[in-house]
Amino acid sequence: MSSRPSRLVWHFPPFIICLGTLVALLPTIANAETSRAWVDENVESLVELYRHFHTHPELSFQEEQTGERIARELADAGAEVTKQVGGFGVVALLRNGDGPTLMLRTDLDALPVVEQTNLVYASKVKVKDTDGTEVGVMHACGHDVHITNLVGVARYLSANKNRWQGTVMFIGQPAEERGAGAVAMLEDGLFERFPKPDFAVAMHVDSGLATGKVAYRAGYALASVDSVDVTMHGRGGHGAYPHTTIDPIVQAAQFVVSVQTIVSREVKPIEPAVITVGSIHGGTKHNIIGNSCHMQLTVRSYDEGVRKLLLEGIARKAKAVAMGANAPEPTIEVSEGTPSLWNDEDLSARLDPVLRRVVGNENVASAEPSMGGEDFSRYGRAGVPILMIRLGAVDGERLKRYEQLGQAPPSLHSPLFYPDVEDALKTSVPAMSEAAIELLKPKD
């Protein structure tokens, strides 16, 4: 009888130890899943979430429901969520011990565009804009992809905390399309109420880059953007008696031609600069000379000195034209300005090998500098090293077809633009997740 218990003692404990070890290791085994494997398994739910955001777009500073939904998604991922920062902005902190703070940002707003893609989930939303005019609303700039990507990254990082250490600060930013959301969040104490990040990374879809690819550019990548309204004033009267009037439309015509010489004759030829008169409105009837003519300009550059030169030159040219016509001084208003975007060179160099490892060396492109603008730049101006990565959004075969037809693919802001979202997310979520893990490496 005495030998039987001894056999039980010697045989069962190893089994119990092995089983206990296995149970203890199960979370680690589950957490060891690669970001690419994770997104392959979870992409269906992400595409469903994308379609929700696509079919429920909201204009700048009206993103109430978008903010509520992303707040709920980030809370479900374990983050501490604060809503209504700088409008309907969302800040969510996913903490995982001591370490750096990384900010990952998405924009929330859509555009006043009537969608013409004929997709089964195309936006049917129509709302009143700030002028009371009914407009269609569409995520024509891919912000719905950006939101979904952020949620995917949050879910992955939450499930794999063994791979990183520190704090991830997820930002849902309003009003990027108006260039006003970043400054609104900063003025609402973004970096005072919450940890000031050590790094900030964002991703933006690129309508001309194939899915599976990413691109970035260290240094200047996007331009400063200023909106300028110029109103030439005159003295109205009958079109048959122009000598009794001061014609504001003639002044406007002279200004449109004169202002182009700022870029061609005052800016150094190697410095990027653009002045575009995008809108001109004056007069009411064939035979009436009106009292005023209103123009809207977009002004873009990289260098702050060039930016100042352009804005001062516009005012000088407008005033010179008015003086030449013996007219009242013009009204000049500058608004909606965003600074140029500078991708931090050290941060770019650190994440370059990560991107190449995740998507393949051949799938990382050098992005061309663009005269487009992005208020993500403001976080860089606030002292945070930033990097914006461009994400391939259109299937390569579809891009080839456009080329065969001699057509350019629909650009961002086009009513015909749509991303091949599943393939885009299969690239963006692993790329952003691994970038985060690189910047938040656990301490030895």
Active site residues: 109, 176
Kindly provide the b/e burial profile for residues 40-62, where b requires at least 16 CB atoms within 10 angstroms of the residue's own CB: eebbeebeebbbebbbbbbbbbb
Q: Tell me how far apart the alpha carbons of residues 440 and 438 are, in angstroms, rounded to a whole number.
A: 6
User: What DSSP assignment string belongs to 245-258?
Assistant: SB-HHHHHHHHHHH
Q: How far is CA 113 from CA 110, 412, 413, in A?
A: 9, 11, 8
| First-last CA distance in the chain | 53
Q: Which two tokens stand for residue 207?
A: 């309508």
Q: Which two tokens stand for residue 294?
A: 């209103």
Q: Tell me how far apart the alpha carbons of residues 143 and 393 are, in angstroms, rounded to a whole number.
A: 12
Task: Tell me if 386 sits within 8 A of 204, measured CB to CB.
Answer: no
Q: Which two tokens stand for residue 101?
A: 């703070």
Q: Tell me how far apart the alpha carbons of residues 277 and 280 are, in angstroms, rounded to a whole number.
A: 8
Phi, psi of 395, deg, nearest 5 = -55, 135
Number of Cβ atoms within 10 Å of the Cβ of 14: 9
Read off the amino acid at residue 298. Answer: T
Read off the amino acid at residue 165. Answer: Q
Contacts of 253 (CB under 8 A, 6+ apart): none
Q: Tell me how far apart the alpha carbons of residues 194 and 204 are, in angstroms, rounded to a whole number.
A: 24
Per DSSP, 109 falls in state -
Pairing of strands 386-394, 199-210: parallel
Task: Tell me if 136 sits within 8 A of 114, measured CB to CB.
Answer: yes
Q: Hey, which residues does 231 pair with through a beta bridge? A: 294, 331
Task: Tell me if 249 sits within 8 A of 293, measured CB to CB.
Answer: yes
Q: Hey, which residues does 111 pair with through a beta bridge? A: 138
